[in-house]
Structure 1
Amino acid sequence: MDTPQRPAAVEIHHPQPITLHPPTAPLVPIQPGPLPAVQSVQLPDGRIVTGYALTPTPAPAPIEPRPAVSRTAVNIALGGIGFGAVCGGLVLLTTFIAALAAFIHQLIILAAVIFGGWIAVQVFSAGGHRSSGTTVNIRKAVIKRNHFHG
């Protein structure tokens, strides 16, 4: 009769580090952390696989949905558009100020010419202030043989 086979005894081996050369400097003792537990798994064909237990990695946090366009980008774009509109208005404003200054300059020159002409007419006209001199009224006179008959 066949006797049922019993599984072989499971032996657990802890790995030991292999030192190839003895350390030359004294080592500082470090407190070892907790070692993970060793697990053994028996495969369906009877083989036993031994290894350390792996801790599962945590799932990444869900990513928050972001808007298609950031508010900062929209604000910067709107600011640029507004600045461009203002620059055009400033160019027109400076042009208007320059034209107004030229017009006022022309008015001042025109006033100086008209006022200067008025002063010249007043100074040089016969109806104005007369200087001391002799006035001679010439009437019809008859001149005969170099003799004046008035």
Structure 2
Amino acid sequence: MTHLERSAAVEVHHPVPITAHTPAAPLAPVQPGPAPAVQSVVLPDGRVVTGYTLTPAPAPVPAPVDSRPAVSRTAVNIALGGIGFGSVCGGLVLLTSFIAALAAFIHQLIILAAVIFGGWIAVQLFGASHSGGGGTTVNIRKAVIKRSHFHG
């Protein structure tokens, strides 16, 4: 491998400035310090990368989290209990209305049964003696009773 072949393998890249217009952020005053050191790294394929060393930025510290919730747990429990009670009340009103309607229906059935049964008894008592159907009629006006014997 000759000297020209080695120099052809190394490529040098120059940074190109970004020309897009971005609003400049306000700069904080910085104390002048020593210029950072320049490092060169040789990659496994023979290329050389040169640049400044960067110090890692410190990790941002998260804001402290308040250990208490914004709303009291007791207040949430009371509110949920009220919502639950309110949703149950509608069902309870429907249940009591259903029970009252069922009791009224049973009461009317009992009255209807009493009227029908009472009417049937009245027909048996008062209707059969005046109608001439079915039984044996005995005229006892002419009968003579002597010594506990019936002579007809």
Give the TM-score of the pair, scaled to structure 1.
0.40
Q: TM-score, normalised by structure 2?
A: 0.40
More helix by share: 2
